[in-house]
Amino acid sequence: MSFEEKMNKINHEIIKNTYIKLGNISDDIVFNSYSKIMEFVKRNNSIKDKITLIGIAHVAYGWMPTMLDKIDLKLIENNGKIKKIWDNIQSGSMDYDFLLSIKNIVNNSIIGGSKLLHFINPNDYAIIDSNIVSFLLKKKNVFVDCNIENYIIFMNRIKDLIKNKEEMNKIKEIFHENNRNIESFSDTRYIEMALFYSGKIEKRFNGT
């Protein structure tokens, strides 16, 4: 079954059941660091230039964790190009060529690119990573599947799911019943986070 077929099987019930099983994750280091990075980006996001974009890219990519060492500087060599990138991020663009430029800015990785996009515009972008893709495809070596085409499929399905506000409210209620006194997130984050932790749990269960 293809990535698209697997992703299209994800529904609100799967997300709700995941949060019921997951329980309290307030002590998880990945979960805790997410909120701190998000707050950092909010505090340093007022000047939308090359320096801010690269700084956020380093922070987001370092969350993997590894070092950001591949940046196509031609993509941000002048103010016109950098303004277009910022405008596309703020508008939630899913144009392939735009996503390719983001991938090339962030270590030639759509995983890193999706993190950069999400931290700047969490309402329109979710994070994709190997935990999510391996959970969907049920295989170990998935980095070739972490590509722009699958990211577009991933985001299209998430956007369909978050249109149903009643179901999204139920998902949030279940999450916050188990994780009290924790701030709310964007709707994209609630869907993506459930898939991410499902992948982590499955990897741990399989000893990978």
Percent of the chain with pLDDT over 70: 94
Structure tokens at 44: 């340093």
DSSP, collapsed to helix, strand or coil, labels residue 95 as: coil
Q: Kindly list the distances between the CA atom of residue 128 and the CA atoms of 62, 114, 153, in Å, as whole numbers in the listed order.
A: 15, 6, 11
* Distance separating alpha carbons of residues 152 and 102, to the nearest angstrom: 13
Amino acid at 44: N
* Residue 59 lies inside a defined structural domain of this protein: yes
Q: Which of 166, 153, 164 is nearest to 114 (CA)?
A: 153
Domain of residue 126: give its range. 3-202
Model confidence pLDDT, tens digit, residues 155-172: 999 999 999 999 999 999
**208 has pLDDT over 90:** no
* Residue 132 lies inside a defined structural domain of this protein: yes
What does pTM read for this prediction? 0.91
Model confidence pLDDT, tens digit, residues 50-67: 899 989 988 888 776 666
Percent of the chain with pLDDT over 90: 67
- Kindly report the length of the chain: 208
Give the chain's domain count.
1
The whole-angstrom distance between residue 148's C-alpha and the CA centroid of its chain comes to 13
pLDDT band with cut points at 50, 70 and 90 for residue 203: low
* Distance separating alpha carbons of residues 109 and 100, to the nearest angstrom: 9
* Residue 207 lies inside a defined structural domain of this protein: no
* Distance separating alpha carbons of residues 203 and 197, to the nearest angstrom: 10
Longest dimension (CA), the chain: 49
Mean confidence (pLDDT) of the chain = 90
Overall average pLDDT of the 70-82 stretch: 77
* Residue 208 lies inside a defined structural domain of this protein: no
Residue with tokens 């070739």: 144
pLDDT band with cut points at 50, 70 and 90 for residue 185: very high
